[in-house]
Amino acid sequence: MSYLRWRVTWWPDLVLAASGVALSALASESWAGDPAPRGYQVALIAVCTGLPLAFLRHRPVAVAFALAALLLAFDDAGSGLADGIQILLPIVVGVVARERTLFWTALAATAACLATAVNLADPGVAFTTNYWYYVVGIVLLPVLIGRYLQGAADRRDRGEEPAPLLDVLFAAGGVAYAVLGTWSYWDGHDMRVGGVGLLAVLSGLALGAIRWLPGAVLLFESALVLLADNLVPPVADTLRVVLFVALAVFAGQATWRWLGAGYLLTCGVTLATVIDSRGDVTGLTYGVVATMVLAPAAIGAYVGVRRTAARREEELRAERARSDRLAERERIAREVHDIVAHHVGAIVLRAGAAQYAGAGGPAAEALADIRDTGHQVLDDLRGLLTVLRDPGPGGLPGTALPVADPDEVMRDAAARVTAAGIEVVLEIAPETARAALVARASAARIVQEGLTNVLKHAGEGSRATVRVSADDKELEVEIRNTPGRAPTNLPSSGHGVAGMRERTRALGGRLTAGPLPDGGWRLVATFVLPVEVGNR
């Protein structure tokens, strides 16, 4: 998984830049005017347009302002050379709306609207309400979609279910784009307003089902593009962009085999529209079409790979967390068995001592029964302990270790850390002796793990204070440390704060940990004591 993360860190930026260059070049060639632009002009503007996209993932606001400035700079270039910038600019503003705050979104959208207005304001042409509608609409739609996607991501982070509004936005955005791109042709062909408008609306509405039926929507959009190309050829150019969107979404969900089929289908549809509009079809034409269709397919496939990788990583994290919880609960279970064995052993020992002290009559019989029963319980517990112990060499169960006194465990941990160069002050209140042994044993493990973390992260020269106190309701462990000179490269004895928190939670307690103002660290674990145990 780490290799996959490394592999996808840099090449998406190159893909974005290359796609921007290709789109700008294709747009200039597709809408060439009279006279046709020279090759070096197309190459220069295409490179200037595409290179900023390499920074889109990290600096979207700067990319938006750069494209707006380029749109103004190349406004007088003519021959549709700036059309690629005009297409990319609203998309970049949508990315800003998705990734940045409302303030930066408003600035980027304003710059995009002004640059678009200047680009559309040809000399001698009145800037009517329809033009303003187009200028604001082409920027506002990606802003709305981007802001919604940001809110949807925040809701997912909070564990909320994503709303179906995304499908509505897909449909609304598709309809708006198709209408804005075709409205000037609605009344200039035999189909008139009703027919051309119906094609545009149907093409946009189909995107509302793209997440659930990507293959069907791709086929439907292909049919609409072919139909529009036969009836109203200029409209097919706009609907072809919607077809590319459908291909991108399809590529993010389909297998590689079906992705190849969808790519070939889209190439065929696009080539059919190009052949109708151009009399001279050369090998370069086929290459341009293949490259143009490859861009949305590659972007969609990349998004699908990232989504799959993120889902697998999330599953691995959940599985690791579950394994950690089970491991911590298993350690607690082993300690509980140790504690029970310790107490039962003490009962057997005292019963035997009472027999040898001269107890007679019914008391002697009761003591003998207690002793025999205790021995049987110890044998059963020994078998369970053998199963729960970590396996030794060759996969055989390890040797059972004797149960140590929790206070001795804490003192031993403090002594070991002190010998490693950290001053440890250990304070164990006398009241803790009355606490339940399982809580005291868990507190000892917390002290062990906490002091190991101090040694690992604070380093030599640090000073740690450990306080263990108890009352009738709770047993509390507090570990404080000051910052040291340099951390020590030591492995943790457990699973860190997460393992300690799981141990504390399993016993009905709570644990908090965090930095101190002086640069140190503070950890507090509290165990709830049963009333009958705490007051015994």
Q: What is the pLDDT of residue 273?
A: 82
* Model confidence, pTM: 0.45
User: Any bridge partners for residue 524, and if so which?
Assistant: 478, 512
Q: Are 417 and 424 in contact (CB under 8 A)?
A: yes
Q: Ranked by mean pLDDT, which of 92-106, 117-131, 189-203, 268-282 comes out on top?
A: 92-106
**Residue in the structure block whose two tokens are 């609605």:** 186
Q: Give the tens place of pLDDT for each residue, 388-422.
A: 554 444 433 333 344 567 888 899 888 888 887 78
Q: Considering only 143-147, 166-170, 471-475, 529-533, which range has the smallest mean pLDDT?
A: 529-533
Greater pLDDT, 129 or 197: 197
pLDDT confidence tier of residue 495, bands split at 50, 70 and 90: low
Q: Which residue has the higher pLDDT, 137 or 19?
A: 19
Percentage, residues of the chain above pLDDT 70: 70
Comparing 381 with 431, which gets the higher pLDDT?
431
CATH node for 406-534: 3.30.565.10
Helices marked H in 31-76 — which ranges?
Answer: 39-50, 60-73
Contact in structure between 417 and 449 (CB atoms under 8 Å): no
Residue 1's pLDDT is: 42
**Per-chain mean pLDDT for the chain:** 76
For range 206-227, the mean pLDDT:
87
How much is the pLDDT for 493? 45
Q: What is the mean pLDDT of residues 444-461?
A: 83
Confidence of residue 499 (pLDDT cuts 50, 70, 90): confident
Spatial distance between the Cα atoms of 206 and 44, rounded to a whole number of angstroms: 37
Where is mean pLDDT largest: 131-145, 271-285, 327-341? 131-145
pLDDT number for residue 62: 93
Q: Percent of the chain at pLDDT above 90?
A: 11
| pLDDT at residue 464, as a whole number | 92
Give the Cα separation of 347 and 366 in Å (integer): 13
What pLDDT score does 426 carry? 93
- pLDDT for residue 194 is more than 90: no
Contact 197, 231 (CB under 8 A): no
Q: Backbone dihedral region of 452: left (phi > 0), alpha (psi from -120 to 50 degrees) or beta? A: alpha
CB-based contacts of 179, cutoff 8 Å, min separation 6? 197, 200, 201, 204
Residue 492 — very low, low, confident or very high, per pLDDT cuts 50/70/90?
A: very low
Query: For 13-17, 128-132, 423-427, 453-457, which range has the lowest pLDDT when averaged over its residues?
Result: 128-132
Amino acid identity, residue 313?
E
- pLDDT of 350: 67
C-alpha 209, offset from chain centre: 25
Report the C-alpha gap between 316 and 313 in whole angstroms: 5
Locate 68 and state its tokens.
């707006």
Checking if the pLDDT of 17 tops 60, the result is yes
Is the confidence at residue 51, as pLDDT, over 50?
yes
How much is the pLDDT for 331?
Answer: 72
pLDDT of residue 32: 43
Question: Minimum mean pLDDT among 55-69, 82-96, 110-124, 305-319: which range?
Answer: 110-124
Q: Average the pLDDT over 487-499 and give the result.
A: 56
User: What is d(CA 426, CA 466) in angstroms, rounded to the nearest whole number?
Assistant: 5
pLDDT (tens digit, 9 = 90+) per residue, 160-188?
445 566 777 778 778 877 877 777 676 65
Residue found by looking up tokens 């938006």 in the block: 64
Could you tell me whether strands 423-428 and 463-470 are parallel, antiparallel, or unpaired per DSSP bridges?
Answer: parallel
**Cβ of 294: how many Cβ atoms within 10 Å?**
16
In this structure, the number of other CB atoms found within 10 A of the CB of residue 184 comes to: 12
Confidence of residue 2 (pLDDT cuts 50, 70, 90): very low
The whole-number pLDDT of residue 491 equals 46
**For residue 20, is pLDDT > 70?**
yes
Cross-sheet strand order for the sheet of 521-528? 423-428, 463-470, 474-481, 521-528, 510-515
* Mean pLDDT to the nearest integer, 342-348: 70
Q: When comparing pLDDT for 346 and 242, which is higher? A: 242
Q: Where are the alpha helices (DSSP H) in 254-282?
A: 256-277
